[in-house]
Amino acid sequence: MNERIIRRAAQAFEYNQPELELLTSGLIHNTYKVTEGDKAIVLQQINTAVFTEPQKIVSNYKILFDHLNKKTSFRIPEPVQTTTGDFLYTDDGGRIWRATQFIPNSYIENSNMPPEQAYKAAHCFGAFSNALADLDTQSIETVIPGFHNLIWRYEQFENALPKAISERLARAKTIIEGLQSRKWLVEFYNALKTNPEFRLRIMHHDCKVSNILFDVKTKNPICPIDLDTVMPGYFFSDIGDLVRSVAGNVSETAPHVDSLQIRKPYYDALISGYLAGLGNSFTQTETQFIHHAGLLMIYMQCLRFTTDYLSGDVYYKVAYPEQNFHRSNNQFHLLLRLEAFLADRISEHPLR
């Protein structure tokens, strides 16, 4: 993006002569670190094709910020106001921006961290779910309707097939058939939605390990970040995304998957860390089905990447033409490996 546009947005948050740094890890927003003297913020241009009601992002954030600061040891980054006292800034081109304080001496782990760090990350997200267990699900607005609704994600995938770019349809054939033959996961989701043992809860909905800030000195988590998708959902979303982003030995961005495998010490650390962080907040049934979480989330992510590939890359940012195919293929192989890894733990279950 044009630097002048970013500088104008920074100015709206009272950073007049800042240094700018592009932060590249997210697939949705444009994110910058903005520094001036000894103060810094994270400035984001909100992707309004994905978040069509940005006002909901900032009003939810305020509720979460107040709730977490009052009741827990989490110190999530404080939202920053514009010079006119708003939490959103709209520029001349209609782009919408918001900012939060940059937390100093923090860093982000990658999937090559040791298993002890995976345990801490999962514990942090578990404690986050626990901290939100007493927040009324009605108090947080649904920012993206149907976000982790697997029935809807499957429908989007099916609807993309007849309209797909034909070379892409051919290239993704194995993946498409693999997704179709695993429709039991959609049925599992459908069944859990109507079973009172699975509660509607406020979940983070983007628990990639890169969405936790760690402390440079102690190597302990400071807080989860990227709270835009915190909204009502079900038990599988957060631990499922952790499994998705940590249990494999290569990251979701890796185009080559021949050596992909599930790392047992990491998988076990994630499950035990998450359950420890949760305390008693899951029902017995939710805990019993914990190993389904990774399968559901990887399957859903594979549906989403495949749908976007077939539709011509309309949702996820791509750096090169076949990137969504590589993402989809990566998730598909991760799913195959996790199925094999879990074969003896999930072969029989009443919801299937």
Strands 96-101 and 201-203 turn out to be unpaired
> Residue 129 corresponds to which tokens in the numbers above?
């779910």
Residue number, nearest CB to Mg ion? 206
5 vs 108, which CB is nearer to ligand GN1?
A: 108
316 vs 341, which CB is nearer to ligand GN1?
A: 316
Question: Which of the listed partners (Mg ion, ligand GN1, none) does 129 bind, with a CB threshold of 5 to 8 Å by partner kind?
Answer: none
- Residue identified by tokens 């921006």 is 97
CB of 29 to Mg ion, least distance (A): 8
137 vs 251, which CB is nearer to ligand GN1?
A: 251
List, edge to edge, every strand of the sheet that includes 221-224.
106-107, 212-215, 221-224
Residue span 193-212 as binding mask against Mg ion, x where in contact by CB under 5 A, dash where not: -------------x------
Question: Which of the listed partners (ligand GN1, Mg ion, none) does 160 bind, with a CB threshold of 5 to 8 Å by partner kind?
Answer: none
Can residue 226 be called a binding residue for ligand GN1 (CB under 6 A)?
yes
CB of 160 to ligand GN1, least distance (A): 16
Q: Which of residues 45-64 bind ligand GN1 (CB under 6 A)?
A: 50
24 vs 287, which CB is nearer to ligand GN1?
A: 24
Question: Which of the listed partners (Mg ion, ligand GN1, none) does 117 bind, with a CB threshold of 5 to 8 Å by partner kind?
Answer: none
Question: Which of the listed partners (Mg ion, ligand GN1, none) does 63 bind, with a CB threshold of 5 to 8 Å by partner kind?
Answer: none
Q: How far are the Cα atoms of 148, 231, 283 from residue 275, in angstroms, in the given order? A: 21, 20, 11
Question: Which of the listed partners (ligand GN1, Mg ion, none) does 252 bind, with a CB threshold of 5 to 8 Å by partner kind?
Answer: ligand GN1
Can residue 330 be called a binding residue for ligand GN1 (CB under 6 A)?
no
146 vs 279, which CB is nearer to ligand GN1?
A: 146
Can residue 252 be called a binding residue for ligand GN1 (CB under 6 A)?
yes
Can residue 226 be called a binding residue for Mg ion (CB under 5 A)?
yes
Task: Say if residues 52 and 28 touch (Cβ distance below 8 Å).
Answer: no
Question: Which of the listed partners (ligand GN1, Mg ion, none) does 27 bind, with a CB threshold of 5 to 8 Å by partner kind?
Answer: ligand GN1
Can residue 252 be called a binding residue for Mg ion (CB under 5 A)?
no
Residue span 169-208 as binding mask against ligand GN1, x where in contact by CB under 6 A, dash where not: -------------------------------------x-x
Residue span 97-126 as binding mask against ligand GN1, x where in contact by CB under 6 A, dash where not: ------------------------------
Residues in touch with ligand GN1 (CB under 6 A):
26-28, 50, 206, 208, 226, 229, 252, 301
